[in-house]
Amino acid sequence: MPAQVIKISGARQHNLKNLHVEIPREKLVVITGLSGSGKSSLAFDTLYAEGQRRYVESLSAYARQFLDRMEKPNVDFIHGLSPAIAIEQRSAGANPRSTIATTTEIYDYLRVLFSAVGQPHDPVTGQPLSRQTPQQIVDQILAYEPEWKIILLAPLIENQPGEFRDIIEKIRREGFVRARIDGEIMELDRSERIRLKKNERHTIEAVVDRLVVRDGIRIRLTDSIETALKWGGNRVVVLKQRRDGVMEQRSDEKSKTPTLQGSNTPEAKWEELVYSTDYGNAATGFRISELTPRHFSFNSHLGACPACHGLGTQLVCDPELMISDPSKTLAEGAIVPWRRGTKRMQAYYRHLQKALVKHFHIDENVPFSELPDQFKQVLYFGTNGRPIEMDLSNNGPADVGKVAKLFEGLVPQMQRLYEQTESEFTRNRIRSFMTYEPCKVCNGARLKPEILAVTIKDRHARELNIHQLSELTTQAAARFIAALELTAQQRVIVRDVVHEIQSRLQFLVEVGLGYLTLNRQSGSLSGGEAQRIRLATQIGSGLAGVLYILDEPSIGLHQRDNARLLGTLCRLRDLGNSVIVVEHDEETIRAADHIIDLGPGAGPRGGEIVAQGKLEDILRAKNSLTADYLSGRARISIPKQRAKPRSTDQSEGWLTLVGATENNLKNITVSFPLGCFTCVTGVSGSGKSTLVDDILRRALFRRFHNAKEKPGAYRAIRGVEQIDKAIVIDQSPIGRTPRSNPVTYTGAFTPIRELFSQLPAARVRGYDAGRFSFNVKGGRCENCEGDGLIKIEMHFLPDVYVECEVCHGKRYNRETLEITYKGKHIADILDMTVDEAARFFRNVPSISEKLDSLLDVGLGYLRLGQAGTTLSGGEAQRVKLATELAKKATGRTLYILDEPTTGLHFADIEKLLQVLMKLRNAGNTVIVIEHNLEMIKCADWIIDLGPEGGEGGGDIVGEGPPEKIAELPRSYTAQYLRTSLKNT
């Protein structure tokens, strides 16, 4: 009988304190607790790591070398463990060829669908194309009037330059007696050699057979047609002539007068018809070969656009990136490319600039933004073939004087240099002025024109190609596929394919991703969206008996969509799987079969089980913060006073975005009050990230940092002069390596090192601040290069890290550690918690100010030297907030946060709100994209987008304080906000 529980004994991974816990199998289990309390350590670093390790160890040594080697978690034993699959909140990768459709394999099935039942069209005329079988061609020829003369030709060369001796010799050797060359039928076995002019274009067709239409020729005609199709690349040309020379004219047929050697009637006219087993248009000569799934792949040369190679984008020079600061003048060097290069090149560019200035009669000392548009157009794109007078005098022996020259323009010049240079340095320099734009050939569709001309139709007479279908949201695509117009035969052919597409689309809709388009790049997805896509894929797999471990699947979901997600998790459980979810969402916690609450604090103060069992067991727990918030004993209070906009007429104190139309935004104008805490809300897919991230953030970053990313479509932005910088605070790690830590990120380590370098013992030895850095040679231990650990590669086993035997994990050499402050050396300082260090350095303001900011955000338990890679997302975010708090406030900074409550417990959210309020109280502006009602109800101002997601979103549903938004009848946010405000 299989085990009923997963039994964990002695779990000590990271901060877990020798946990003993039993987790029921085939149930929905939620692990909750404060940020940093050990939830991920238990779920991912213990349960998943051990499950994965056991699976990998069952493979051969040869296979193991190709797989990620999981380190054995610090646990005594785990019984009842199933094969484990982790669905984490990580980005789906930055590969530009990876989309939602390719990740979920929907695109693979679409390729099969289009190759099987797609209708090709002529890409120029749009006319539907048809094709015939050899038997149909034979039947059509036999339907000619009796006694018609016909000649069957196999096209070999069509309008190409060359002598083609090898082609002519080859068909002669293969037994062909005649060929039509440039409209004239010639004997191949004649004594004099056929000579073609090398530089002229020629058309060569082999004469396969000559017949007269009458009874009894079917077998011979069929054989000849098949031979002609084989040699002619699935094409056959038929010349026909009636015995009496009378012609029947048809509009879709070509008429020629070939000279037949030996013919008694050279004036006879012949009709020419082209038949093909490929799709083709006889009128235009266009044809396309047999369609296969590879033709619809933008990763295959058969289908990919030749200009962009299937990427849909091209790297092009962006004029705006060539101007460092529009407020600078030409004299101050506003044109960045002309400030670089050799002295000779810079001198040439100065002459060029003066010539342009003189030609357009402009002042070099006027800010670039105020220069006339005509001048900017010529500067960017050249004089369009018109020369301008340039003074290239240099008072030297090579003095050229005044000359009339064409001016190429910055954009064509940089583009040309980028394509021609062999220097990687030059190419990288020019790339800083370039950005990605939709391919001008395929308009971002990634495929060749003839492939984009293949369509399928639904019962509502809507015809779409594979790119247009990929542009639909998953919900709209599901409706289109369900309404496909297919013949009975086609329905049988693609029945299984359509079923696979429909089921995958339905799973995406069920996990709340109905608003995403199928061609959305995987790299642009949030962690929550990427996780739910993987969840949908797992549901589609139909596996049973698996241990699924998920990391906050509700992130990025509006309250309206939560019920659907919970249904999906329960469905996964009901298949016979064990589902463990790390989650803080109240609805998910209440819906769980079993809850494990970790705490009571974070970091060293956590790692214990505070409460576990069913919901009623948790609510009775006395020392559980989770129980306090769920039961209402503790709650996040609404601010007694909200900050109000500085003016009501939006002339002063507002940042206004005019005419936003990117993605699904419907030409909206949005005003953000400065000096306030603003929440942008709305259902998933309503346009929040498009508005704040794709347009506002990119526009501000381009203005303040000359960033390469192009903002989304908008007409204007007003009020930017009222802010001095824009900062994004997210939950990405504070560093990519273990060398990054809280004390270095916040900048507190610099004054600590300077303090040590000023100590008498250090000054005697001549030690500077660099001596106390573990990243620089001199003071660090060179045996471990300042890591404190030595990595030992174990080949087929996970790498083992052992303490450095020279420094014993201290990171520094003996001489450096001899310098002490109040009895502590530099390694002791790094081993202190923030709490301990704040008390220790209380009398050193330059250090204590930065450490106090870490205390303010609730990170007193972190060790100063704790590796940044071990911090949770919420902890990393609060380290960044602490860094901002420690800076001198200008009162003009704009902070942007995208779902900052990710990974945060109710108590953590309360601390986060206090920090955001501090930033706001200093006069700064805070803009947050959020679904969490605890955060939304505390905002000063709400901008609610919607009313629906995807095509039904993109409008402003309401703007104002929470109390006003809660009264809106058509706002989904209002329905839940109303309840939240009443319960507080």
186 pLDDT tier (thresholds 50, 70, 90): very high
**Which phi and psi angles does 814 have, rounded to 5°?**
-60, -40
AA letter at 26: E
Q: Is the pLDDT of residue 698 over 60?
A: yes
Q: Is the pLDDT of residue 737 over 60?
A: yes
Q: Is the pLDDT of residue 370 over 70?
A: yes
Q: Is the pLDDT of residue 508 over 70?
A: yes
Two tokens, residue 653 = 């104190």
8 Å CB contact between 271 and 151: no
152 pLDDT tier (thresholds 50, 70, 90): very high
- According to the model, what pLDDT value does residue 397 have? 42
| SS3 label, residue 811 | coil
Beta bridge partners of 30: 581, 595
| Dmax (CA) of the chain | 120
Angular region, 582: left φ>0, alpha ψ -120 to 50, beta rest: beta
Q: How far apart are alpha carbons 291 and 277 in whole angstroms?
A: 12
Q: How far apart are alpha carbons 480 and 471 in whole angstroms?
A: 12
8 Å CB contact between 88 and 23: no
- According to the model, what pLDDT value does residue 870 have? 78
Q: Output the DSSP codes for 562-621.
A: HHHHHHHHHHHHHTT-EEEEE---HHHHHH-SEEEEEESSSGGG--EEEEEESHHHHHH-
Q: How far apart are alpha carbons 691 and 683 in whole angstroms?
A: 14
| SS3 label, residue 269 | coil
Q: Is the entire prediction scored with pTM above 0.75?
A: yes
**Which residue is it, tokens 């049988």?**
492
Tell me whether residue 705 is exposed, middle or buried, using C-beta atoms within 10 angstroms of its C-beta: 0 to 12, 13 to 18, 19 or more.
exposed
249 pLDDT tier (thresholds 50, 70, 90): very low
8 Å CB contact between 456 and 114: yes
Domains of the chain: 5-92+527-631 (3.40.50.300), 106-128+286-311+442-520 (1.20.1580.10), 134-277 (3.30.190.20), 315-438 (1.10.8.280), 654-730+908-982 (3.40.50.300), 742-870 (1.20.1580.10)
394 pLDDT tier (thresholds 50, 70, 90): low
254 pLDDT tier (thresholds 50, 70, 90): very low
Closest CA to 68 of 76, 79, 77, 59: 59
**DSSP code of 271?**
E
pLDDT tens digits, 747-767: 999 999 999 999 999 999 999
- Structure-derived torsion over alpha carbons of residues 24, 28, 34, 37, reported in degrees to the nearest 10: 40
Q: How far apart are alpha carbons 543 and 661 in whole angstroms?
A: 43
Angular region, 599: left φ>0, alpha ψ -120 to 50, beta rest: left
Q: How far apart are alpha carbons 257 and 800 in whole angstroms?
A: 84
Two tokens, residue 751 = 């004054």
Q: What percent of the chain has pLDDT over 70?
A: 94
264 pLDDT tier (thresholds 50, 70, 90): very low
Q: How far apart are alpha carbons 745 and 412 in whole angstroms?
A: 42
Q: Is the pLDDT of residue 260 over 50?
A: no
Percent of the chain as helix, strand, coil, to the nearest 5: 35, 20, 40
Comparing 596 with 57, which gets the higher pLDDT? 596
Comparing 64 with 712, which gets the higher pLDDT? 712
How many C-beta atoms surround the C-beta of residue 143 within 10 A? 8
Closest CA to 729 of 898, 504, 513: 898
8 Å CB contact between 554 and 585: yes
Q: How far apart are alpha carbons 33 and 690 in whole angstroms?
A: 32
8 Å CB contact between 287 and 235: yes
- According to the model, what pLDDT value does residue 819 have? 96
- According to the model, what pLDDT value does residue 796 have? 58
Average pLDDT of the chain to the nearest whole number = 88
Comparing 201 with 902, which gets the higher pLDDT? 201
Query: What integer is the mean pLDDT of 815-819?
Result: 96
- According to the model, what pLDDT value does residue 548 have? 95
**DSSP code of 782?**
T
Closest CA to 550 of 103, 38, 90: 90
Query: What integer is the mean pLDDT of 525-554?
Result: 86
- According to the model, what pLDDT value does residue 429 have? 87
Q: What percent of the chain has pLDDT over 90?
A: 59
- Alpha helix (H) ranges present in 887-927? 906-921
Find the range with the poorest average confidence among 254-263, 357-366, 909-918: 254-263
Q: How far apart are alpha carbons 720 and 654 in whole angstroms?
A: 9
Find the range with the poorest average confidence among 18-27, 558-567, 870-879, 961-970: 870-879
Q: Is the pLDDT of residue 935 over 80?
A: yes
Closest CA to 548 of 2, 141, 23, 149: 23
* Strand segments (E) across 765-869: 789-792, 800-803
Tell me whether residue 280 is exposed, middle or buried, using C-beta atoms within 10 angstroms of its C-beta: 0 to 12, 13 to 18, 19 or more.
buried
pLDDT tens digits, 855-882: 988 888 889 998 887 787 778 888 998 9
Q: Is the pLDDT of residue 20 over 80?
A: yes
- According to the model, what pLDDT value does residue 558 have? 87
Q: How far apart are alpha carbons 679 and 959 in whole angstroms?
A: 10
Closest CA to 839 of 858, 852, 827: 852
**Which residue is it, tokens 């089921």?**
503
Strands 149-161 and 259-260, by their bridges, are unpaired
Q: How far apart are alpha carbons 470 and 446 in whole angstroms?
A: 11
Could you give the C-alpha distances from 295 to 126, 286, 419, in angstroms and in order?
A: 19, 17, 29
